Amino acid sequence: MTHLLFGGCPLLNTAIECDDTHPELREQALRVMNQFLSTIQEIILHGIQSGELRSDFEVVSLSSLILSTLEGAVMASMLARDNSHIAHCKEHLYRYLLSYQTERA
Beta bridge partners of 53: 101
d(CA 103, CA 57) in angstroms, rounded, equals 15
- pLDDT recorded at residue 17: 72
As assigned by CATH, the class of the 10-98 domain is: mainly alpha
Per-block mean pLDDT, blocks of 10 residues, the chain (105 long): 58 72 85 94 95 92 95 88 93 94 76
Residue ranges of domains in the chain? 10-98
Strands (E), 1-105: none
